[in-house]
């Protein structure tokens, strides 16, 4: 019996469809599907440069071990929506801001959080203060990255100077991240055991015994973020010491402490911060040079941090307001 050509063609198509659906179900056939997995660097970790705008925060956590909660806090995303939020959509949260925030910004955030080597291009990529605060509090940025943050952070609540705002969808700089992230487990922010060469944001920078506190150059115009970046003081401890929020921390200048502590019976200012930095980091500090006072919160942080000599502890007891 001869089979009509039309029937033969229909039968062939039907069989092909059955084969395709069967192999798809078995994971053998995946026509047209693109591999979303980032490339792997020489160190065996996923390359941050391959972080796609279509990645959700959950995928970023999966590949780079940066918690969804940290990404949500950094880029102002509701925690309920954060897991499914795509990196390419971050511009919507920063419309009219002084600098563009986009997928390149997320790449830089991830790289700094992990302490990965990063190609910052022409240095035109800025991070919102919320992102910088998360990096310094929970991440493991290198010393170079801390310094970059000190001059490349902006207040997302303040509009662009010309009132037009930055175009969130447009990249403001090449700022590509050429290296890899950690990819291999969560970053231990508390211990400063990140993947880069920096000191981390945990227990401090180590003793500076023998190094004079005169090398600590601070003025009233310095911000707390600059202090943290330049002297390796964890942002969480520095903020707690002087009663600052994460948002204030990035832009609050040392001279503003006089306003914050206007009701204090003793002056709290840049000198107080210098004393705090010296005792926290272990610099040699001549306590007889001047009468410098610290708020109780700063003294509590120093005592919890440890490393104070009996003379320093006694001085603080007599110079706390």
Residue at a domain's end among 179, 202, 225: 202
Which three-class secondary structure state does DSSP give residue 35?
A: coil
Q: What is the pLDDT of residue 123?
A: 80
- The count of structural domains within the chain is 3
Residue 181 lies in a domain: yes
Burial per residue of 35-44, b for 16 or more beta-carbon CB atoms within 10 angstroms, e otherwise:
eeebeebebe
Residue 275: which of 255, 247, 295, 261 has the closest Cα? Answer: 295
Q: What is the pLDDT of residue 170?
A: 39
Asked whether 274 and 216 are in contact (CB, 8 A), the reply is: yes
Residue at a domain's end among 157, 177, 202: 202
Q: What is the pLDDT of residue 179?
A: 42
Asked whether 170 and 96 are in contact (CB, 8 A), the reply is: no
Residue 287 lies in a domain: yes
Residue 207 lies in a domain: no
Specify whether 60 is located in the same domain as 2.
no
Residue 297 lies in a domain: yes
Residue 223 sits in which domain range? 213-318
Q: Helix, strand, coil % (nearest 5) of the chain?
A: 45, 5, 50
Specify whether 192 is located in the same domain as 87.
yes
Read off the tokens for 24. 């798809």
Read off the tokens for 11. 């039968």
Q: What is the pLDDT of residue 224?
A: 84
Specify whether 46 is located in the same domain as 194.
yes
Residue at a domain's end among 183, 202, 221: 202
Specify whether 79 is located in the same domain as 147.
yes
Specify whether 112 is located in the same domain as 54.
yes
Specify whether 157 is located in the same domain as 12.
no
Specify whether 230 is located in the same domain as 295.
yes
Specify whether 17 is located in the same domain as 40.
no
Specify whether 138 is located in the same domain as 164.
yes
Specify whether 56 is located in the same domain as 6.
no
Q: What is the pLDDT of residue 22?
A: 59
Specify whether 24 is located in the same domain as 40.
no
pLDDT digits (tens, 9 = 90+) for 245-257: 766 776 788 888 8
Q: What is the pLDDT of residue 29?
A: 46
pLDDT digits (tens, 9 = 90+) for 146-196: 878 877 887 777 676 554 444 444 333 334 444 444 443 333 333 333 333
pLDDT digits (tens, 9 = 90+) for 99-118: 899 999 999 999 999 998 87
d(CA 69, CA 288): 46
Spell out, as residue ranges, where the chain has pLDDT lower than 50. 28-29, 31-33, 163-210
Residue 52 lies in a domain: yes
Residue 246 lies in a domain: yes
Residue 208 lies in a domain: no
Specify whether 120 is located in the same domain as 83.
yes
Q: What is the pLDDT of residue 314?
A: 92
């Amino acid at each position: 019996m001869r089979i009509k050509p039309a029937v033969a063609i229909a039968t062939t198509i039907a069989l092909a469809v059955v084969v395709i659906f069967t192999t798809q179900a078995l994971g053998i056939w995946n026509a047209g599907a693109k591999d979303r997995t980032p490339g792997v660097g020489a160190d065996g970790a996923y390359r941050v440069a391959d972080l796609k705008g279509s990645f959700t925060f959950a995928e970023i956590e999966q590949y780079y071990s940066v918690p969804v909660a940290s990404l949500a806090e950094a880029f102002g995303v509701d925690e309920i929506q954060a897991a499914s939020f795509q990196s390419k959509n971050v511009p919507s949260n920063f419309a009219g801001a002084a600098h563009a925030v986009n997928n390149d910004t997320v790449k830089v955030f991830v790289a700094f959080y992990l302490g990965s080597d990063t190609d910052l291009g022409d240095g035109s990529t800025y991070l919102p203060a919320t992102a910088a605060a998360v990096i310094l509090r929970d991440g493991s940025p290198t010393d170079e990255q801390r310094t970059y943050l000190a001059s490349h952070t902006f207040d997302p609540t303040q509009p662009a100077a010309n009132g037009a705002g930055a175009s969130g969808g447009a990249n403001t700089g090449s700022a590509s991240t050429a290296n890899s992230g950690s990819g291999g487990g969560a970053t231990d922010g508390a211990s400063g055991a990140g993947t880069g060469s920096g000191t981390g944001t945990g227990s401090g920078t180590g003793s500076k015994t023998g190094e004079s506190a005169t090398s600590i150059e601070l003025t009233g115009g310095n911000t707390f973020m600059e202090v943290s970046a330049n002297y390796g003081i964890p942002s969480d401890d520095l903020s707690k010491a002087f009663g600052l929020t994460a948002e204030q921390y990035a832009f609050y200048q040392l001279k503003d402490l006089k306003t914050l502590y206007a009701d204090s019976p003793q002056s709290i200012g840049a000198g107080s911060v210098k004393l705090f930095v010296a005792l926290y980091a272990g610099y040699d500090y001549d306590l007889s040079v001047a009468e410098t006072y610290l708020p109780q919160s700063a003294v509590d942080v120093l005592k919890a941090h440890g490393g104070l000599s009996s003379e320093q502890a006694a001085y603080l007891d007599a110079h706390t307001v």
